[in-house]
Structure 1
């Protein structure tokens, strides 16, 4: 009786631990949702631009854009979501645009918890799997920005979540025709967020999960599952096809999206075989590591799980057939991985809709994965926390944050250090400490960049009011980054981008030296009502156009997309040399 009571107490403590981690993860995802430095896809501003331009027309379709050959880059659901969330431009801010992504992510996390609760009859594994899923780097980077993977992850996962639940409750039952029709509509919504081509992995994963988890497999059952899944897939494609019916310019949709965005992924100048078996980042070998790459700080847990599976292969015949939930999760993960070995363009991002399955597999085999696979996460998290602390300290030394704003990330870093030390010290704590340390890295990062979303990182009301109407030249170091000035300098200005960084170098003819900063600024000031200029190096404390220009406002920013040689081992410890920069809002004198 005493041992039984001890076991119950241990289970309760474990459940409380994972529930606390889930609350910490929720904080890490909600905090700073409106921030400029939320980790995201670099193309996020491209899609914000298209959504804003479309909202300005007052029409759902066609999609609108000022960017050349960049209009029908995604199906309309993503843009419609932003238009509704931003109230057609009336409440146009990044928090509003990103909130639907966060809600989808919470739905996926909740489904993970409920499914594993049904499978194991305990809350612990479900809470654990949700925490693991939220600790994945792919979830943190692509789960809450506006340009997100959360909506399609939800819609493509919904049939599989439902199947997990049904097999746990009624192992012999299968989804009927009504369920397949409803899930077909759901899959169609997922396609309307991303691409019609994703029906291949989505439908194939669902079909294989149905067949592999069938309690009484027969040719008749296989035929029924094939027919029903096929009908669902056709219905999903029909939902996607409504874009061609509703858009007044379907030829442009075909040319820009079907041919330009999708067919291009199967063509490669080097040839399919050369690219597939090369050592590049788009090779088959790199794609096989997609789940590990998406796991981020938890990278080594994926090969640890794979190694556990290989060790158990000799026992497979004795344990065959697999339990329904194991069969569903393995089918889900394997199909998405295998399908994306075939396109010429490969990326770990393409398999994000299968990351819930990976998280649930890890949770179900958590204690069986050797402790050694968790230790690298603790060590790498320690390095990440140290670097975040250094960045926060440099920001404070530059006068960009208050004592409180410095103290909060340092407190999280100190907590993370204790967690890492505890995980390295006691083996029983290593696994939970790995997930907790990963989430603390995210929390520390959010707190360290938070001051840059305050007054030091934005133009003041006086500068915004004094900004002249007309053409404003703004720096553009990556795709449509000029769109961010719609939030920094509201007021209906006409922002005209000029290329900086690698984009400027790429457009310069070979052998042609770059213009001096003073010459370039003089030319921009002569042709624009105002110019936004980023300091060229940390030693430059005033804009080089003075006294021929006047400073309306100044802010600090964190730079990205660094040129080769800007970040080196000898200056990595000095982020003031490569991370922090001033930006000035200038007008001619």
Structure 2
């Protein structure tokens, strides 16, 4: 008698499900990518302006900008990437400018997954004996590799800086790639006399051409630690050893080559003096100075050392409790290993060294930011996956609670959109089902042990995806002017509100072809002197709260919905709860003066 057929769910291997989920989340990074309202740093628009004007000049260098004081604020590779992706202005869309960032992020996620898979497979093979077959060990390692990818893609900084045009993805790819390579084959690469130092120096140089020559410092420090702690297997302070000179020469050669690659900017830029003045002195050396003094800034304010000490946790955001739990689990494991022959794998050690080196180096400047730690976030994702089953369940429950709060907040923002537009179908029923089901899964995971880890692996990205979904309608028809309006404004001067550097650049994508002129409006919805703007321009964009007219003596040509970027601090948290329709949303009107 033949055995009954297994169901498709039973036939589907466990590890393939996780790999499929990781691929789905990676593809989820494309959702809403071309929209105006994705999470980003406002400086994306500053650099989009520099890239657009440089492309319009028809030359790679020098860089051009709408501001004389803000041209050489980043190395040229960042701008060249946008110029090529945008077809030198022929296809200037946010989607095309951002696609290379997502490609870099996918590359980083692939490295995270592969390194975790290799490390877990090696550790399982060394400790399990005959308890599991090679295939079972490999499948488990593949599962953990997929979970590492999910963790990395669920970090808020990955989503915020791994999708926009102004991104940390390129330098993270090239710099983390060096340590990925060492962790993949530490004995061979650390013993390499010239091949690895050559490739590593070139990779670091490319990373510096995206970010800054300053990145040589933390990378060089981390490499020195790797050669000492992994290559020589000695404590960092035991420098009196054979081979220390040879290893030191390799590190210096790698750093020198990285600086030489970065120095090509000075060699090919027609205005090297301006590069030195604006980038080296203004953008980098300025971060080492403070009128308050080093120690006063180090131990107080938003730029204190505490910013760096807690940076890896805050960068994780919705996975913050889980990242804290990882450090706790790692500390307990280290305590348990003391006095025994047990040790961590070389790959894990290299990840910790990169995390440590980056944090220590960026405690030195007087200007500190959690963004400086982003290149080591892939290492944190690897470490969190390695300790996944040793992290206490309380940390998973806390993570699920944070994610549930985030999902409820997305629901509140969606409710505000319904009230603002007076359209109950502004979101499809699938959006509300997704938010409700995800929040319910988090709630069950808090109390049901078997659900805690699987749901936590997906909960962080569910909040990020809900955020993309709740803003998506305003990237579409609701957030656009009519095609005939865009045709009317072709070549016309249009005054637009702007409340920080480069904010006006967004209108190059909203009303392409118009001549954008900005006017400062700290709170665009409260700007009063609209009639004064008509003295220099026929067409003006004016933002208003829902139900408020744009002006008294003007004619409305068209209107669109916008998400408010910088709310009034006086509104406070309660305004977001009581009146989400006015806290998050505004109407933007295209107006012209009444005919005399």
Residues 1:559 and 2:551 are matched in the alignment: no
TM-score, normalized by length of structure 2? 0.90
Aligned equivalents of 2:466, 2:433: Cα separation in 1: 9
Cα separation, partners in 2 of 1:215 and 1:117, compared to 1, 3 Å? farther
Structure number with the bigger relative contact order (C-alpha 8 A, sep ≥ 6) is 2
Residues 1:294 and 2:331 are matched in the alignment: no
324-333 or 17-26, which deviates more: 17-26
Residues 1:543 and 2:550 are matched in the alignment: yes
Do 1:422 and 1:433's aligned partners in 2 also have CA atoms closer than 8 Å?
Answer: no
Deviation digits for residues 337-362 of structure 1 (CA, Å, limit 9, x no counterpart): 11111110111100100011111111
Equivalent position of 2:134 in the other structure:
none
* Secondary structure of the corresponding residue to residue 299 of structure 1: helix
Cα separation, partners in 2 of 1:173 and 1:261, compared to 1, 3 Å? closer
Do 1:531 and 1:586's aligned partners in 2 also have CA atoms closer than 8 Å?
Answer: yes
Aligned equivalents of 2:536, 2:248: Cα separation in 1: 64
Do 2:200 and 2:254's aligned partners in 1 also have CA atoms closer than 8 Å?
Answer: yes
Equivalent position of 2:200 in the other structure:
183
Deviation digits for residues 296-355 of structure 1 (CA, Å, limit 9, x no counterpart): 101112222222233334333424654211221111111111111111011110010001
* Secondary structure of the corresponding residue to residue 460 of structure 2: helix
Equivalent position of 2:98 in the other structure:
98
1:269-280 → structure 2 map (5 Å cutoff)? 269-278=291-300, 280=301
Equivalent position of 2:218 in the other structure:
201
TM-score, normalized by length of structure 1? 0.91
Cα separation, partners in 2 of 1:175 and 1:561, compared to 1, 3 Å? farther
Do 2:65 and 2:71's aligned partners in 1 also have CA atoms closer than 8 Å?
Answer: yes
Output the aligned Cα RMSD. 2.2
Equivalent position of 2:3 in the other structure:
none
1:319-330 → structure 2 map (5 Å cutoff)? 319=341, 322-330=344-352
Equivalent position of 1:509 in the other structure:
none
Aligned equivalents of 1:256, 1:183: Cα separation in 2: 28
Equivalent position of 1:62 in the other structure:
62
Deviation digits for residues 444-501 of structure 1 (CA, Å, limit 9, x no counterpart): 111111110111111111111222744321100222110011111111x322211112
* Secondary structure of the corresponding residue to residue 213 of structure 1: helix
Do 1:470 and 1:528's aligned partners in 2 also have CA atoms closer than 8 Å?
Answer: no
Aligned equivalents of 1:146, 1:459: Cα separation in 2: 24
Cα separation, partners in 2 of 1:260 and 1:583, compared to 1, 3 Å? same
Cα separation, partners in 2 of 1:436 and 1:229, compared to 1, 3 Å? same
* Secondary structure of the corresponding residue to residue 568 of structure 1: helix
* Secondary structure of the corresponding residue to residue 582 of structure 1: strand
Residues 1:533 and 2:533 are matched in the alignment: no
Aligned equivalents of 1:216, 1:299: Cα separation in 2: 32
Equivalent position of 2:589 in the other structure:
584
2:146 to 88, 105, 127: 127
Deviation digits for residues 18-50 of structure 1 (CA, Å, limit 9, x no counterpart): 224313322331111101111011111000000
Aligned equivalents of 2:378, 2:307: Cα separation in 1: 21
1:568 to 555, 573, 583: 573
Unaligned 5+ segments in structure 2 are 1-8, 122-140, 235-239
Equivalent position of 2:130 in the other structure:
none
Aligned equivalents of 2:92, 2:13: Cα separation in 1: 44
Do 2:555 and 2:592's aligned partners in 1 also have CA atoms closer than 8 Å?
Answer: yes
370-379 or 248-257, which deviates more: 370-379
